[in-house]
Structure 1
Amino acid sequence: MDSGVVVSSSSPPSHEGIRKARAAIRLLLVLVVFGGCVLLYVMMPTNTYKQIWQPRIRAKTNSSTYFGSQGASLLVFTFPIMFIALMGCVYLHLGKKMNDYTISCSDGKTKRLSVWKQPMLVKGPLGIVSGIELTFFIMFIALLIWSFSTYLTNGFQKITPQSAAKSHEKVWEVKLESASLRLGLVGNICLALLFFPVARGSSILPLFGLTSEASIKYHIWLGHIAMVLFTAHGIGYIIYWAVTDQISEMIKWAKNDVSNIAGEIALLSGLAMWVTTIPRIRRKMFELFFYTHYLYILFMVFYIFHVGVSYAGLMLPGFFLFVVDRYLRFLQSGKRAPLVSARFLPDESFELNFAKSPALKYNPTSVLFINVPSISKLQWHPFTVTSNSNLETDKISVVIKGEGSWTRKLYQVLSSPSTSDRIEAAVEGPYGPAATHFLRHDSLVLVSGGSGITPFISIIRELIFMSTAYQCKLPKVTLICAFKHSSDLTMLDLILPMSSTTPYDMSNLQIQIEAYVTRDTQPKEDSMNLRAIWFKPLENDEPVSAILGANQWLWLGLIIASSFMMFLILIGIITRYYIYPIDHNSNKIFSFPLRALLNMLAICISIAATASAVVLWNKRSNAKELKQVQHMEASSPSRGSEVYNTERELESLPQQSLLQATNVHYGQRPDLKRILLECKGSNIGVLASGPKKMRHEVATFCSSDLAENMHFESISFSW
């Protein structure tokens, strides 16, 4: 089939106009607006910006009686990013509208930037890094070095023995104070970008082909760099105050200037978060890491008190969009998700099935965050969604491996005979890619270890659905999975859904499964059965649904635009009728901390009011779907807390096909290099999920000259 052929089950109108509109929006946002923002950051340390650009901007904005001194930062730093976020919502809505009717099947002959997407670094502190990621990382580090060196050069030019003598200080002491200040300014660049990767429902990340889960590593990189710079900034000032006999400055809370003690509180909060991110602490004491990260609230509040609301405009857009996302997650998590059933595997793994709205759609490799209040009211854990929204329209499923303390407790609660007929749980999500990209390959090689098979279950189920619903060429699939024990092979039974609301046919899907059991030399048939338990639904149960409904991107755009406009109106009113009569834009009378507090309250009120109104509006349509789901559950047989064993259904044709396509190798590990070398094809997608060592091994081979036809992607959901 030719590249870009579009196949549809109906006869949709031409989407060429939508494609062109999306291309124009992306070109405008990425090249023009984003490029302009990058240029602004490059010019900020220069004398051209300070002496020419900034005075002109401030002359036009700071004279305003509605925004005062923060008008310049709102115009220069906030408006462009909010515009990108708003237009990103339009871009994603158009893409979702297109995906509702069309499916593109590509033979992969034309691959743009395929070389740059290959792994360039595999082992090291950055993990697996592609050529594109490495290029942008080097460019970002170059920006930080350029900013710091330019700040220092321009600052040191003004420091002379005569100027130092006037302040009764030595030249090196003045330079130390100047360098410490510049370290903080450069750290603010990292802080301005820090919150974009952790906004799970972001409309900006998909513009760059990113998801929130895949972007967590960028958040980690930015966090490390920011804390190094802020720590050096704080230590530099402490040394400066100590050698110049100004140690009392440490407890200074200025009314109309930088508040030192607020900066120290923010730095201590950041250091507490930073220490708990050490891999050994994070893995062994995850709860400490998780709870300590709530200090970001304290960090941001005192950071704004420290620098003032005008300079905080540099990081306002990223933090504003994060707060929007965080509040929507809060509203979604306030509802209890009905747990319909659970399937238990012999290796203490289990599958949870939640009732969901039929209108909720998601792509493979999406992630669902789950909270069980009876175990921990604050802890949320991410799990890969294994169900397919097209095959299973009434439920959403995740598979959990009983490895950590939280998952073991959940397994014990579910499997305990004393468990009641229901388990209270809350969910956030699902969050995932805006589109599926694995269809662009001729063949797929899926390499997994242990519970790393879960994202591949979702991919295979998507291919099963497409092989049934659409007559288009699908990639050939080779699944290579490694398990420790033979009982772990029951994970393969989860590839096919326990019950499907849509009939499916696997005859058009070419799939081969090579399963390796590393520690057992022969099967143990007595532990190969699955056990399932059903829970009784309640009348007030609400199925898992998109918090903003089917047109979620349009509603998100409305929330972003209306909340930001409401924020501007509130700040304009406060400034014009409360601050300006006292201060008259002099910035010398009205309290800096009070102005910052009023701005933070305006942000919270604006976001809470607009987001709550939109969610309540969408709740009306969700109520109709709730009645349909309740009627369906009430009429379903075997609903209760009955426990039963299910043998492998050998009479099932799909199950037979899956068993025939499966080869099990006992007592050995997969020779990944040999297996990958034997893969033939001009365009092979290689996806790896599981232990870090295994992913590194696959990435190393795919980055070599032996794998020019292979396109690697690492799937990792570790925090």
Structure 2
Amino acid sequence: MSTAKERFVIFVLLILEGIYLSVRLGRNTHHINSLKFFFEKYLLIEFSIKKDRMEHTGALVRMVMLLVFVGWLFMWIMLPTKTYKYTWSLSLSKHLNSTYFREQGTNLVLFSFPIMFLASLGCLYLHFQAKNAPKRNFTRRRWLDFWKRPLIVMNPLGIVSTMAVVFSVLSVALLGWSLYNYLHVSFGHLMMHGVGEKVWQARFRSVSLRLGYIGNITWAFLFFPVTRGSSLLRLVGLTSESSIKYHIWLGHISMVLFALHSVGFIIYWGITDQMELMKEWSKTYLSNVAGEIAFVLAIIMWVTSIRRVRQKMFEIFFYVHQTYLLYVFFYIIHVGVAYFCLILPGIFLFLIDRYLRFLQSQTRIRLIAARLLPCNVIELNFSKLAGLEYTPTSILFVNVPSISTLQWHPFTVTSNANTEPEMLSIVIKCEGTWSHKLYKQLSGSPIDSLQVSVEGPYGPAAPHFLSYENLVLISGGSGITPFISIIRELTFQQLNDNRKIPTNVLLVCAFKHSTDLSMLKLLLPLTSNTSTTSNISQTNLKIQAYITRETEQQQPLENTDSSLRTIWFKPMPNDMPVSAPLGPDSWLWLCVIISSSFVLFLIFLGILIRYHIYPKELAGGPSAYNYTYKTLWDMFFVCASVFLATSFVFFWRKKENDKKETMKVQNLELGETGEIESCADLSVVETTSIHFGHRPDLKKILMENNKKSSDVGVVVCGPRKMRHEVAKICSSKQANNLHLESMSFNW
């Protein structure tokens, strides 16, 4: 019933029904509610029509996006084949390689446009989904539980789900298929590149060259996982934090391929006495020097990104990894404009995201207060706009210029967007040089203000972990911080009778020392009210705390606030609350940025080629224009279009938001907070049991919950050894009712 004619018929029938009720009931006020039922019934049917129409439209959009994505993958499958090289490419070149785009036309249409279209359409889909869908929809697709189940638990891969294994196998199959077909086509039409060159030498060169082609395929996907505000990741249910491992895997694979490609060419030049080619920067073809510079930069980045180096010397890894800009620059010069269009979408979307983050980070954020816990833990409380929404377990990136102007560190958001509409909180555990410097700065001489910049928050689309019947949260040390936001969300949802939340929630937390128990104080916010405090005892929350390095309790949990210190900061004139970079309707405006910037790029490129490059090539031949200059023009237009479109939308939206939103500074009294904290302490103590001298028996705890319920969500965050132990338990055949979600602070 979605057409106008059917709606009209329904309306007429309901009017007749209303007239009948009126005549039958007469003036009896006792039955007036029956007339109200008529209008409610009509409105309900209208709502169901709109809902059905919305669902059909959403299904149609999803189908279109799926078909476009499958078509894009199909072109990658066909690209290395003989059919594409000798049949399709010739026909496509005639129609797509026009005087406006030349050799880039085919790749722009087949490989760049589909992903840019998907990113734009995905933003529109997410925008209307957020507008029309019920707020805080906790439903999850049960059929995905099987695909998310751990299949491989081992170092260095970590916890790998069934879905990740399937996609990894398909990715490796694509690389193997491409290499086989490239070599098959190449060996069938082998070209000699020097006088007296032998067949095996020509084949060796061909293999080295095609390994570079395969590495280019990995680059087509390399930047998607690190684009934090990506609509593509959101469409498949991923966040940048949960998909960072795919970036690492792709990076390792690409480096192996590029290393073989580079070393192979050096060996080839050596055995054919052509070492002078290492110094060649050709004007008509690829630049060997640019490729060598990119390879050296890549090797340095690769070595410093190895897990052991990255964790032991994070600052070295961080600073060296920033050379990716130079790496990308020389890599694109080396591969040329045609191959640049193959990998363009990932780089284009990453640049938009990175520039938006840069613009957001230029704002100095209003810091309300900091709580220093006796276990070297800091809670920072920021002011935020009431309209900024985020889900539990979201991540906020923080920069403190007084410590380091370049370093940005991610921290879990512990506050709740519903119960704390004007405050956003994060928790920092002092475990590294940066965090220790921050703790020392705050705990030293009194300070009135602290300059802080942020990026984010970034998080999942919905708190789907609340859809389980029972919930088990397992943490080790600072791994408890994501669960603070989950428990606060549970506390809030307890007030909503129409929302289904887990019946029982068990928090298992392992600490080294009893002073770490003070982190349980953070389960309630700094400015919680009486209802929030009382609801924590109504969520069926049970806390089992394990102190592994102490055999007896040093002091009661309720007395651990003796050394807790709260620092209140004075508002500064330039301070602003945390807000979304594009304000409300962020997905809609991101769609505007993506589509307009890509169109600008095409316009700039088309004008340049048609009126500057094409006339010179027409007069002097295809190689008349410097090959490197073409690549430089492409990179310049990409950066210029992203800068212009993003800057215009960002500053226009910022101006509009400044008109609508006024910064509100809360005058919080320390005395009132102290009273609230004491109430919170009592509610936490009532639900906590403390064990000393041993670690939790995770297998026993999980198997007991596996027997109690048929739908148990298990969320673990902590050291790698703990996460792997929980994953192995949940992947066993006896744990059919356990559904694992693993979180990690390190990669």
Report Cα offsets for 1:157-188 as digits up to 9, x if no partner. 223xxx65973111111111100000000000
Which residue identity is paired with 2:589? W
**1:278 matches 2:313:** no
Report deviation, 1:465: 1.1
**1:178 matches 2:206:** yes
Which residue identity is paired with 2:655? R
Q: Which residue of 1 aligns with 2:338?
A: 310
Deviates more, 1:15-24 or 1:72-81: 15-24
Q: 1:23 aligns with which of 59, 84, 95?
A: 59
Report Cα offsets for 1:349-374 as digits up to 9, x if no partner. 11011111111100111000000111
Q: Which residue of 2 aligns with 1:158?
A: 189
Q: Which ranges of structure 1 fall in alignment gaps of 5 or more residues?
A: 1-10
C-alpha contact (below 8 Å) 2:467/2:500 kept by paired residues:
no
Q: Which residue of 1 aligns with 2:662?
A: 627
Report Cα offsets for 1:576-624 as digits up to 9, x if no partner. 1111111139531111111111111111111111111111111123324
C-alpha contact (below 8 Å) 2:730/2:740 kept by paired residues:
yes
Where 1:398 maps in the other structure, the secondary structure is strand
Q: 1:575 aligns with which of 603, 609, 628?
A: 609
Where 2:69 maps in the other structure, the secondary structure is helix
Q: Which residue of 1 aligns with 2:267?
A: 239
Where 2:427 maps in the other structure, the secondary structure is strand
Distance (whole Å) between structure 1 residues aligned to residue 194 and residue 462 of structure 2: 63
Q: Which residue of 2 aligns with 1:547?
A: 581
Where 1:707 maps in the other structure, the secondary structure is coil
Distance (whole Å) between structure 1 residues aligned to residue 265 and residue 663 of structure 2: 63
Q: Which residue of 1 aligns with 2:724?
A: 696
Report deviation, 1:473: 2.8
Report deviation, 1:103: 4.1
C-alpha contact (below 8 Å) 2:364/2:574 kept by paired residues:
no
Report deviation, 1:496: 0.7
Distance (whole Å) between structure 2 residues aligned to residue 202 and residue 717 of structure 1: 20
Q: Which residue of 2 aligns with 1:428?
A: 455
C-alpha contact (below 8 Å) 1:532/1:644 kept by paired residues:
no
Superposed, 1:69-108 pairs within 5 Å as: 69-99=103-133, 101-104=134-137
Q: Which residue of 2 aligns with 1:486?
A: 514
Where 1:473 maps in the other structure, the secondary structure is coil
Which residue identity is paired with 2:148? K
Where 1:315 maps in the other structure, the secondary structure is helix
Q: Which residue of 2 aligns with 1:129?
A: 160
Q: Which residue of 2 aligns with 1:669?
A: 695
Number of aligned positions between the proteins: 692
Report Cα offsets for 1:15-55 as digits up to 9, x if no partner. 4443433333223213x111111111111111011111111
Report deviation, 1:294: 1.2
C-alpha contact (below 8 Å) 1:531/1:645 kept by paired residues:
no
CA 1:416/1:72 → structure 2, altered by over 3 Å: closer, same or farther? same
Identical-residue share of aligned pairs (%): 51
C-alpha contact (below 8 Å) 1:86/1:557 kept by paired residues:
yes
Please report the RMSD computed on the Cα atoms of aligned residues, expressed in angstroms: 2.1
Report deviation, 1:72: 1.0
Q: Find the structure with the greater CA-based Rg.
A: 2
Report deviation, 1:436: 1.9
Q: Which residue of 2 aligns with 1:6?
A: none
**1:220 matches 2:248:** yes
Where 2:305 maps in the other structure, the secondary structure is coil
Q: Which residue of 1 aligns with 2:543?
A: 513
Which residue identity is paired with 1:510? N
Q: Which residue of 2 aligns with 1:463?
A: 490
Query: TM-score if structure 2 supplies the norm length?
Result: 0.89
Where 2:323 maps in the other structure, the secondary structure is helix
Distance (whole Å) between structure 1 residues aligned to residue 368 and residue 85 of structure 2: 61
Report Cα offsets for 1:532-583 as digits up to 9, x if no partner. 1100001221111001011000000000000000111111111111111111
Distance (whole Å) between structure 2 residues aligned to residue 645 and residue 506 of structure 1: 17
Where 2:691 maps in the other structure, the secondary structure is strand
Q: Which residue of 1 aligns with 2:14?
A: none
C-alpha contact (below 8 Å) 1:262/1:305 kept by paired residues:
yes
Distance (whole Å) between structure 2 residues aligned to residue 45 and residue 290 of structure 1: 36
Which residue identity is paired with 1:660? E
Report Cα offsets for 1:644-682 as digits up to 9, x if no partner. 9958844x2x55333211111111210000001111101
Q: Which residue of 1 aligns with 2:296?
A: 268
Distance (whole Å) between structure 2 residues aligned to residue 393 and residue 216 of structure 1: 30
Q: Which residue of 1 aligns with 2:6?
A: none
Q: Which residue of 1 aligns with 2:595?
A: 561
CA 1:470/1:577 → structure 2, altered by over 3 Å: closer, same or farther? farther
Q: 2:466 aligns with which of 435, 439, 458?
A: 439
Where 2:147 maps in the other structure, the secondary structure is coil
Report deviation, 1:521: 1.9
Q: 1:472 aligns with which of 494, 499, 508?
A: 499
Q: Which residue of 2 aligns with 1:454?
A: 481
Q: Which residue of 2 aligns with 1:614?
A: 649
Distance (whole Å) between structure 2 residues aligned to residue 209 and residue 19 of structure 1: 19
C-alpha contact (below 8 Å) 1:542/1:626 kept by paired residues:
no
CA 1:270/1:501 → structure 2, altered by over 3 Å: closer, same or farther? farther
Distance (whole Å) between structure 1 residues aligned to residue 117 and residue 201 of structure 2: 43
Superposed, 1:631-710 pairs within 5 Å as: 632-633=665-666, 636-638=667-669, 646=674, 649-650=677-678, 652=679, 655-679=681-705, 680-710=708-738
Distance (whole Å) between structure 2 residues aligned to residue 390 and residue 498 of structure 1: 14
Which residue identity is paired with 1:573? I
Which residue identity is paired with 2:290? A
Q: Which ranges of structure 2 fall in alignment gaps of 5 or more residues?
A: 1-43
Distance (whole Å) between structure 2 residues aligned to residue 514 and residue 138 of structure 1: 40
Report deviation, 1:57: 1.0
Distance (whole Å) between structure 1 residues aligned to residue 589 and residue 347 of structure 2: 19
**1:385 matches 2:385:** no
Which residue identity is paired with 2:147? W
Distance (whole Å) between structure 1 residues aligned to residue 193 and residue 345 of structure 2: 42
CA 1:267/1:204 → structure 2, altered by over 3 Å: closer, same or farther? same
Report deviation, 1:716: 1.3
**1:600 matches 2:630:** no
C-alpha contact (below 8 Å) 1:335/1:542 kept by paired residues:
yes
Distance (whole Å) between structure 1 residues aligned to residue 483 and residue 286 of structure 2: 52
CA 1:645/1:485 → structure 2, altered by over 3 Å: closer, same or farther? farther
**1:348 matches 2:348:** no
Report deviation, 1:82: 0.4
Distance (whole Å) between structure 2 residues aligned to residue 260 and residue 502 of structure 1: 69
Report deviation, 1:502: 9.7
Q: Which residue of 1 aligns with 2:25?
A: none
Deviates more, 1:122-131 or 1:576-585: 576-585
Q: Which residue of 1 aligns with 2:4?
A: none
Q: Which residue of 2 aligns with 1:523?
A: 553
Report deviation, 1:395: 1.1
Report deviation, 1:637: 4.5
Deviates more, 1:461-470 or 1:543-552: 461-470
CA 1:592/1:374 → structure 2, altered by over 3 Å: closer, same or farther? same
Where 1:714 maps in the other structure, the secondary structure is strand
Distance (whole Å) between structure 2 residues aligned to residue 140 and residue 188 of structure 1: 13
Distance (whole Å) between structure 1 residues aligned to residue 57 and residue 492 of structure 2: 29
Which residue identity is paired with 2:79? M
**When you count helix as a share of all residues, which structure comes out higher?**
2
Q: Which residue of 1 aligns with 2:361?
A: 333
Report deviation, 1:625: 5.7
Distance (whole Å) between structure 1 residues aligned to residue 194 and residue 268 of structure 2: 17
Report Cα offsets for 1:183-236 as digits up to 9, x if no partner. 000000001100000000001001111110001000000000000000100000
Which residue identity is paired with 2:628? P
